[in-house]
Structure 1
């Protein structure tokens, strides 16, 4: 059954989900419970009621009317966050800031908020990160606006970071148009700051958005440019420079693997491992983390993408401790591991890995489609086990009425 096949009242009820009662929706909109009930029963729906309900549920009116399907795996809180973030991204880019807004914390406070936002992002708490990104972006825009002429370099860098965070959250939430807009504003800001690494970092972020939009040749071109622009002189490279270059050359390998270019992938992987080896341990910089463990775990997913299951399993055997990775990176590695196990017909091992991750990181798993792809591969496991894991996957989406599973997500 397609989204347009439901009545408007049924769509409101589906969008409301189990977490928002009719009474709660009435309170959110300022409407009476009777009015909400009538709307869900298709008895009465004025234009004003339609607009209030759509705004409260965090969707466009076209979604309520069935002209556009809602994004998959998004709950009401997710939609509200994306809608708010979208308004802030577009308003700040147009120079529109709330009249009551005052700069509260200065550059140091904004940098601290950026770091907190990245911490939430790398824990897999994307909704929380997006909720923080909106006021952070407003503060960064106000800070830049308040700087005297000739002294805005650092302010542009903070604004670039805030837009890039917004782009990353939007991309993971499936809000592709918003991701494109935010990364474009990030590029504009990055080119005006004094940090020579910022433009390349944003270019790599754009490459990731292209990758998830299946624009693979363009994604590879951008990924290669970002890696080239950040390649340091290894004899004098700082940990920050190695982190940025390592993450970028590694991502170039990810994109090349999606294009099935084994020779280019192998070359980039070799450079990634060499960079990781020089670093000895993982290091954080510019909202990312890289080191020898990252290089090894990312190589697992890259070999899986190339269909080189044996190489992936051999790498897995050599990886003992992933505690240095961010939580999101640990979870992504677990999914790549489960996929490799499924490709090798190790059904029970694959389900063990998958179930442990879904149970341990439900917030992260809600926004991933790869678990569904893995389950589809595991065709020889016990029915009871498959049912249990399928139920865990089903918990990720509040709208499961007749929609096919989303396509597999690309690596971060």
Structure 2
């Protein structure tokens, strides 16, 4: 498969433009003529001012057009616009800069906005969630500025939640530098609020950033610490406390599985299942959802990562209903299920699950890497269904890493 740097600048412009944008659309966005766009795509007369305007229209750095770095996978125009706005909101609010027309919302309204953002996030509507988080950050920053001295803890807590949301969205779409910055600001706000629960939640969030950045030992150490810091006494624990703790130990099991540490993963899974059993049902709290169904479905992916296909398939057979999960969690479980079937060489079952999920949740799927991995695993089965699934993912030969959307892009 060619690397991004193997394409010419003109080819890279065409790939980024994709099928959804015509040359005339790009010309209107940049203020350039259609002839100039055509020349650029044909590698003719590509002046620096022209390339800078095109890069700005795509919301990418000039280095992406020049092939010095690849664009983020599955980043459509709306994705890039959202990330740019979110980045400005994170960095500006951290520096104390907010638009002059932002009014200080009250804390109840801000908490409702946070709940709305989490709802969008767990429904897999990541671009919409990020779009809401940007003004949410500005409102939370103004609320903090307006709070009387000695009464800032609640506003700091909300601000920490806003930064954590920004970090989660950025991390999921691959904007790693922004994720690091946002989770760092979330930590500072949580510590200033003297809120131990939020500090632990932010710690778990940072662990996820580490995991996506392949810093596995640090991710595991931080995940373990975050879980230990909020471990409740089960006899007195509230459902909200158990939700936070269960999700923390489950994530620690995920990290341990990525490191191939079966014993530690099994220990964390045991704690996760015990917490879910104690809860008896799925509960949403602190920006997450956890319960007995979450514990079992996530154990499927953990066993898949450990190469324990038989255990994963047995767990799948034990799960009759996943309707209590969020949409994103159900979709993730479907990917783990498809991967388990692929590992067991049950090609048809794997592709059935994968195709159904891609059709039901295309916006969620285009931010995920697992569909492409599953297709590659069953790639030896050259069937019409495999070709259909490949088209749903958007994997024309040679450029699947660089497509801006789920559909196949014409070069």
Could you tell me how far apart the structure 2 residues matched to 1:197 and 1:263 are?
27
- 3-state DSSP class of the match of 1:197? helix
Displacement after TM superposition at 1:356 (Å):
1.0
Unaligned stretches of 5+ in structure 2? 404-411
Displacement after TM superposition at 1:387 (Å):
1.2
Q: Which has the higher contact order (CA 8 A, sep 6+)?
A: 2
- Asked if 2 retains the 8 angstrom alpha-carbon contact of 1:124 and 1:364, the reply is yes
Deviations 1:211-243 (A, max 9, x none): 111111110100000100110111111111000
- Asked if 2 retains the 8 angstrom alpha-carbon contact of 1:157 and 1:198, the reply is yes
Displacement after TM superposition at 1:43 (Å):
3.9
Please say if 1:170 is aligned against 2:180.
no
- 3-state DSSP class of the match of 1:148? coil
Deviates more, 1:190-199 or 1:219-228: 190-199
Could you tell me how far apart the structure 1 residues matched to 2:55 and 2:97 are?
24
Per the alignment, residue 22 of structure 1 pairs with 23
Per the alignment, residue 8 of structure 2 pairs with 7
Could you tell me how far apart the structure 2 residues matched to 1:27 and 1:148 are?
48
Instruction: Normalising by structure 1, report the TM-score.
Output: 0.92
Listed as ranges, the matches of 1:386-397 within 5 Å are: 386-394=386-394
Per the alignment, residue 210 of structure 1 pairs with 210
- Asked if 2 retains the 8 angstrom alpha-carbon contact of 1:347 and 1:380, the reply is no
Displacement after TM superposition at 1:401 (Å):
5.0
- 3-state DSSP class of the match of 2:192? coil
Deviates more, 1:91-100 or 1:359-368: 91-100
Could you tell me how far apart the structure 2 residues matched to 1:3 and 1:266 are?
40
Deviates more, 1:331-340 or 1:64-73: 64-73
Cα distance 1:27–1:405, how it changes in 2: closer, same or farther (>3 A)?
closer
Deviations 1:326-368 (A, max 9, x none): 0000011111111111111211111111111111111111011
Could you tell me how far apart the structure 2 residues matched to 1:402 and 1:238 are?
50
- 3-state DSSP class of the match of 1:274? helix
Instruction: Normalising by structure 2, report the TM-score.
Output: 0.93
- Asked if 1 retains the 8 angstrom alpha-carbon contact of 2:73 and 2:401, the reply is no
Could you tell me how far apart the structure 2 residues matched to 1:98 and 1:53 are?
27
Could you tell me how far apart the structure 1 residues matched to 2:273 and 2:280 are?
11
Deviations 1:193-228 (A, max 9, x none): 143200000000000111111111110100000100
Listed as ranges, the matches of 1:5-154 within 5 Å are: 5-103=6-104, 105-154=105-154
Cα distance 1:303–1:7, how it changes in 2: closer, same or farther (>3 A)?
closer
Listed as ranges, the matches of 1:223-302 within 5 Å are: 223-302=223-302
Deviations 1:297-347 (A, max 9, x none): 011111111111111111111100100000000011111111111111211
- 3-state DSSP class of the match of 2:284? strand
Could you tell me how far apart the structure 2 residues matched to 1:120 and 1:252 are?
25
Per the alignment, residue 409 of structure 1 pairs with none
Could you tell me how far apart the structure 2 residues matched to 1:11 and 1:377 are?
28
Deviations 1:5-38 (A, max 9, x none): 4333332232122222233223323444444344
Deviates more, 1:85-94 or 1:24-33: 24-33
Could you tell me how far apart the structure 1 residues matched to 2:48 and 2:222 are?
45
- Asked if 1 retains the 8 angstrom alpha-carbon contact of 2:159 and 2:189, the reply is yes
Deviates more, 1:370-379 or 1:314-323: 370-379
Deviates more, 1:318-327 or 1:135-144: 135-144
Could you tell me how far apart the structure 1 residues matched to 2:348 and 2:43 are?
48
Could you tell me how far apart the structure 2 residues matched to 1:153 and 1:144 are?
9
Could you tell me how far apart the structure 1 residues matched to 2:145 and 2:34 are?
44
Per the alignment, residue 365 of structure 1 pairs with 365
Deviates more, 1:241-250 or 1:300-309: 300-309
- Asked if 2 retains the 8 angstrom alpha-carbon contact of 1:154 and 1:194, the reply is no
Could you tell me how far apart the structure 1 residues matched to 2:30 and 2:161 are?
34
- Asked if 1 retains the 8 angstrom alpha-carbon contact of 2:71 and 2:402, the reply is no
Could you tell me how far apart the structure 2 residues matched to 1:99 and 1:44 are?
42
- Asked if 1 retains the 8 angstrom alpha-carbon contact of 2:207 and 2:223, the reply is yes
Could you tell me how far apart the structure 2 residues matched to 1:166 and 1:297 are?
26
Unaligned stretches of 5+ in structure 1? 407-412
Please say if 1:336 is aligned against 2:326.
no
Could you tell me how far apart the structure 1 residues matched to 2:203 and 2:156 are?
16
Displacement after TM superposition at 1:277 (Å):
0.6
> Pairwise CA RMSD of aligned residues?
1.9
- Asked if 2 retains the 8 angstrom alpha-carbon contact of 1:211 and 1:219, the reply is yes
